[in-house]
Chains A and B, each alone.
Chain A
Amino acid sequence: MTPATLPTLGTPASAGAANGPAPPPPYPTTTRPYRPGLAERLYLPLIGGLMVTMRHFLRNLFRPGSRYTIEYPEKRRDYSHRFRGHHILTTRPDGSVRCVACFLCAQACPAECIHIEAAEHPDVNIEKYPVVYEIDMLRCVFCGYCVDACPEEAIIMSNNYDMAYFNRDQTVVGKADLMKPYTFDEERLGYRPRYPEEEVARAKMRREAFSLVDAARQAQAAAPRPPAAGPPS
């Protein structure tokens, strides 16, 4: 660093002299540490501490339900229906993707992890659909902004939090995987738009939003069954 030349840089001494000594601060200039009493110096309060640990020990021993530990993966934590987990691309009743490739989710995403390539939809009423819809799960911060932004309820989130991949290529999740519900359990859907009129509109929305479940069931039913292994006996 080059030595800088500044005119009249004040020194502490000259500045202090202009105004006399500084007034004493209204808060302590020394510390007053805690002074242990005789009982503490004789380690007596430790008995109380030992009783605390003993109480916890016995309670955990005889009432295992009071433990906070969860035996994952045998047991899973119960999350609310607002949990922001793995994304799901919802489908129309015919099984096609609901997304109209409006790019609002990609625009709203703070992590810039959504990549969409749009194409013309054969149905003129729908106009566009995504040919490519990819979410980079390593970039995603699971803020739920894409769900907030979506005007079609085409992207929602699930309760799925245990995402693990074997290599980095798998972390970019494509359209096919996002459309595949990892579970048929409706209770494991996560963050998605909510409505104040819980009774009326929400029930309707549930039917529509969960059509992905129906679609997946239909798709499974329609899939050609594999031929039986051996001749029927």
Chain B
Amino acid sequence: MPPSPPTTTAPAAPAAALDQPGGASGRGRAAVDSNLYDSVRSRFPAGSIVPAAPDAGVDQPTWTVRREVLADLAHQLRDDGETRFDLLMDIAGVDFPDRPERFESVYHLYSVPRNARLRLRVPVAESDPVLPSLVPVWNAANWAEREVYDMFGLRFTGHPNLSRLLCHEGFQGHPLRKDYDPAKRWLLTEDKIYKPHFEPTGDFDASGGTPDGGTASGADGGAAGSLSPGTAGAASADDLFERMTINIGPSHPAMHGTFRLMAVLDGETIVASDIEIGYLHRCFEKMCETHTWQQVIPYTDRLNYCSSFINNVAYCRPVEQLLGVEVPPRAVWARTILSEFSRIMDHCVCNGTTLVDAGGLTNFWYMFQPREEIYGLLESCCGARLTVSYCRIGGLSQELPPDFMARCRRLLEIIPPFVSDVEKLCDRNRIWLDRAVGVAAISGAEAVNWGWTGPCLRASGVPFDVRRAQPYDLYDTVDWDVPVLYGGDIYDRYRIRNLEIRQSLKIIRQLLDRGMPEGPFIVDDPHVALPPKEKAYNEMEAMIYHFKLIMDGIQVPAGELYLPTEGANGELGFYILSDGTAKPYRIKVRPPCFPMMSTFPRLIRGGSLSDAVISLGGLNVVAGELER
């Protein structure tokens, strides 16, 4: 790539018009400077990288990139000492039917050492919807690109296995395109089924384009050659005797939801495997586009249903930021406490079920008792245990119950004994150690390349926590630590969750000691929040607002926003695009378990089949958010 002058003076390309007219810049958002990393940009031709204008109202540094330079740019961004964007958070496709370059592939990058974010927009035309695959740069791009291909029909050259990910193989069309009818139904038959792709193989020309160099992180090794005894052709007689393909799931208790694992076994050792997901796919993102902003909240409950309150918060926060409303302190306080309780609950479920997979049913009972109590607290707040829908845009749906403090205090007393009971049973128990230590291990550097976040990444020695890196709510006002372990195996993933439960309790205790802030539980803005019922009954104006808000919905100003929240599993990001109407233009969820699940074949390679089962539990993969 010949060096070329910096592109800071390049004229704004028409593709930079994502900043819709009347964008969010008018809502007092601080200007974001996208003219960063000159040394990297100067290596590319003028006009190929266009930073967003400072007044464009973007929430983070944003570049519009020509696809011709994308692959090189991605390498430079990852490797350059100035940028070091080593974590590909997400790839979101967006469809703008009115534009000459109809589709946009939006990459969200994060630099763990520098704690910086960057967004790359790559516009492509409908006539030639082809981009270079970034799998050689970030392994996290593997499934993310497959999802974009599935949902929008963008193709990625050099992708090792560009097939549908969430939709059925027999699905026709691409559901997240704007011209796709949401009510369309297909009769899906079994003659078109997913053909397993046992990576790493060298010959994937059947569906995946040209063979490429394989993965970049040095994850290769072990199995090579033909690994497809189940598929036609390549199996030699030797393979038929030595290797066996076994299928687990999608309806299997070991699969924690509905996944299908196809593993090639050599004896009891997994030589290669592939995983098929999508059995719980319900096109959450398409449903969001047909519902109002407020109506999306009950849907977010069903993403990670083990900690649905965090999903509520993670969705409401970006919308509130686009609206420019300030959540009252009482609601922020309650959100922080309930998020931490939800995190505890999620960790309880994960550890409990992992240990059940390893044969320790007792821990499951111990772990589920605090969870039961937390459900009681949530139910007393909002009237539902699992699908809480307690958040509203601008606050909470109703006042905290009068006994909120007492219940929380009681929980603080009940939870620690159960956690220490489990620790006493397992932490130094050789039966569990033999099963878990060193199994499905992944180093921090590799986990980052695969896009991991959350407790599983922290168990590999990378202290990245959104609550610390980009504090929100009240996390920067309390004293707590980010636990880090270095084993990167199932055992440390289990142990770090117990440590995090204690940190969450510490956060909650400090917030309770601070006392419940006075004031309303939802913002007093009739354009955002429903007026109180007694007002709606008695005052004409409030009644009109009530009707307007329900019939028309909240009008969110045009703009785009990616806001991360620390979910129980890792970074739960919502990338939202608003065109100024009552319905979202596009909502992309960045589910934390999605990249981890894509790593699964790599994790279990070389291990035994029973190790694969507990590996899946330790990753805490929740089908609701994985498949959306």
Q: Could you tell me which A residues sit within 8 Å of B by CB distance?
A: 1, 3-4, 6-12, 14-16, 18-19, 21-23, 25-34, 36, 39-41, 43, 45-46, 48-49, 52-53, 56, 68, 79-80, 82-84, 104, 107-108, 110-111, 141-145, 148-149, 151, 153, 157, 190-191, 193-197, 201
Contact = CB atoms under 8 A, between A and B. Distances in A.
Contact of A12 (B136, B421, B427, B433): B136
A118 to B, nearest CB: 15
B407 to A, nearest CB: 10
Interface of B: 1, 43, 67-69, 71-72, 75-76, 78-81, 84, 86, 112-113, 128, 130, 132, 136-137, 155, 157-158, 162, 207-210, 213, 216, 291, 294-299, 362, 366, 368-369, 372, 379-384, 387, 389, 397-399, 401, 421, 424-431, 433, 437-438, 441-446, 448, 460-462, 486-489, 491-492, 495, 530, 532-534, 536-537, 543, 546-547, 550-551
Given A3-B157, A48-B424, A151-B537, A145 B71 contact: no
Given A12-B213, A80-B383, A82-B380, A31 B487 contact: yes
A9 B71 contact: yes
Nearest to A24: B445
A3 B157 CA distance: 7
A31 B155 contact: no
Contacts of A9: 68, 71, 132, 157-158
B428 A18 contact: no
Nearest to B80: A19
B443 A31 contact: yes
Contacts of B368: 68
Nearest to A45: B428
Nearest to A142: B384
13 contacts: A15-B75, A15-B76, A25-B445, A28-B445, A31-B488, A33-B492, A34-B487, A36-B433, A45-B430, A52-B424, A145-B294, A191-B383, A196-B399
Nearest to A36: B433
Given A19-B76, A33-B438, A145-B295, A27 B448 contact: yes
A80 B425 CA distance: 35
A6 B132 contact: yes
Contacts of A27: 112-113, 444-445, 448, 460-462
Contacts of B132: 6, 9-10
Contacts of A108: 294-295, 550
A49 B424 contact: yes
A84 B299 CA distance: 16
Contacts of B299: 110
A40 B424 CA distance: 12
B136 to A, nearest CB: 5
